[in-house]
Amino acid sequence: MSDEKKKWFDMKLQSLDILVCSGNGDLSKKIMWFNRLTGVKGKAAELSHTARIYKGYLSHDLEVVESTTLNSWTLPPKKGVQRNPFEQWLDNYNGKVWAIQLDFERNKEFYDADFEFWQKHKNDRYENGILGLSELLLCEFRLDKIVRLILPKYRPLATKNPHCSELIVKFLQWHKFLSSSVIPSRFPPNVFWPDRELYKYIKLPIARPVRIK
């Protein structure tokens, strides 16, 4: 796939379009190392973060919703689930960014439901530390399958505080674009690349990633 950049304003991005990122920070590099450790290949192994486009009903302003450790460029600096102006976010993101467009009708019912979910999760803390590592291990090594051999009703760890891709999967489930049986905590950023899991499970037309930074 070409790594040639395209101007984002030519793409007509809409609410719930997905952003996938390859960051240059320390945490991003650790996630990419973990990707390779668990056998992820190609471009997918470079992915360390994901977010989504947000736009309110009748609004023309694009924003970004994400769950992250700290955005020091915001005033004041923000942690956890947050919403920020898209162009400002893009200018300040330290790394590469691809946009993935979703093809569906954004009607008033969609915007109302989207806002309701945002209200439920805004300011949730970002899941990291020991609990976040536990989710990541379960996610990548599929350890839950082994546990279920002994405890058939076991469900993988899923805390209220979402990591970045977990939040986006929950948004998609809220709008019924993903099966409710999909476990959000088991979706790391690399699943948003075309040869990975998201493209197999999503219930609407989804474009291939286009690099915008």
For the stretch 71-129, pLDDT in tens is: 999 999 999 999 999 999 999 999 999 999 999 999 999 999 999 999 999 989 876 54
Please, what is the average pLDDT of the chain?
Answer: 86
Q: What pLDDT shows up at residue 82?
A: 96
Structure confidence at residue 39 (pLDDT) = 85
For CA atoms 67, 69, 70, 76, give the dihedral sign: positive
Residue matched to tokens 């806002």:
115
Among 164, 169, 199, which Cα is nearest to 49's?
164
Mean pLDDT score, 159-172: 83
Residue 129 is predicted with a pLDDT of 43
How does strand 63-71 pair with strand 95-100? unpaired
Lookup: tokens for 163: 């990591």
Q: Residue 67: which residues within 8 A CB-CB, separation 6 or more?
A: 80, 81, 82, 124, 126, 127, 162, 163, 164, 166, 167
Lowest mean pLDDT across 1-15, 21-35, 138-152, 164-178: 138-152
Q: How far apart are CA 33 and CA 49, in angstroms?
A: 13
Of 119 and 139, the structure prediction assigns the larger pLDDT to 119
Strand 18-23 versus strand 210-211 pairing type? unpaired
- pLDDT greater at residue 1 or residue 97: 97
Q: Which of 9, 91, 22 is nearest to 50 (CA)?
A: 22
User: Is residue 134 pLDDT above 80, yes or no?
Assistant: no
Using an 8 Å Cβ cutoff, are 189 and 45 in contact? no
pLDDT at 178 (0 to 100): 95
Asked if the model's pLDDT at residue 172 lies above 60, the reply is yes
List the beta bridge partners of residue 80.
Answer: 68
Does residue 96 contact residue 189 with C-beta atoms inside 8 Å? no
What architecture (CATH level 2) is domain 14-128+161-211? Alpha-Beta Complex (3.90)
CA 24 to each of CA 21, 27, 40, 59, 112: distance values in angstroms, whole numbers, following the listed order: 10, 8, 18, 32, 35
* pTM for this predicted structure: 0.85
Say which residue the tokens 């905590």 belong to. Answer: 185
Predicted pLDDT of residue 135: 52
Residue 200 has pLDDT above 70, yes or no: yes
Is residue 133 within 8 A of residue 163, CB to CB? The reply is no
CA–CA dist 213, 208 (Å, integer): 15
Residue boundaries of the structural domains of the chain: 14-128+161-211
